[in-house]
Amino acid sequence: MRRRRPLLRAAVVGGGAYAVGRSSANKRADQAQQDDDQNARIDSLEQQQAPPQQAPQEPAPAAGPSLLDQLNQLDALHQQGALTDNEFTAAKAKLLGS
């Protein structure tokens, strides 16, 4: 008669299952690490290729004097008597575009 060894069989099956489970867990952890590394590299490359963020800039000053400066000059000339009322009105209308 043959004697069965249930404990030995259980140990072999259990040990094999443990080894497979552990191997599977290690593979999943390695894959997760590789995915994280790849995502970090992609993020780095995207940041390098993205155009730099520009801070809002003040509007560039006009090349010539501003409209207010020109009106002040016309008023000063009018008050000094260099421009008549009609000349002042015409020059002001020309500046304002009306």
- Do the domain assignments include residue 62? no
pLDDT at residue 29 tops 60: yes
What does the pLDDT look like over 64-93, one tens digit per residue? 778 889 889 989 999 998 888 999 899 888
Token pair recorded at residue 47: 């940041």
- Do the domain assignments include residue 79? yes
- Do the domain assignments include residue 51? no
Q: Could you tell me which of 66, 68, 89 has the C-alpha nearest to residue 78?
A: 89
CB neighbours of residue 14 within 10 Å: 10
Domain containing residue 72:
67-96
Q: How many domains does the chain have?
A: 2
- Do the domain assignments include residue 52? no
- Do the domain assignments include residue 91? yes
Q: Whole-model pTM above 0.75? A: no
- Do the domain assignments include residue 12? yes
- Do the domain assignments include residue 54? no
- For position 64, what pLDDT does the model report? 73
CA–CA distance, 8 with 57 (Å, rounded to integer): 79
CA–CA distance, 17 with 23 (Å, rounded to integer): 10
- Do the domain assignments include residue 32? yes
- For position 67, what pLDDT does the model report? 86
Average pLDDT for residues 41-52, to the nearest whole number?
82
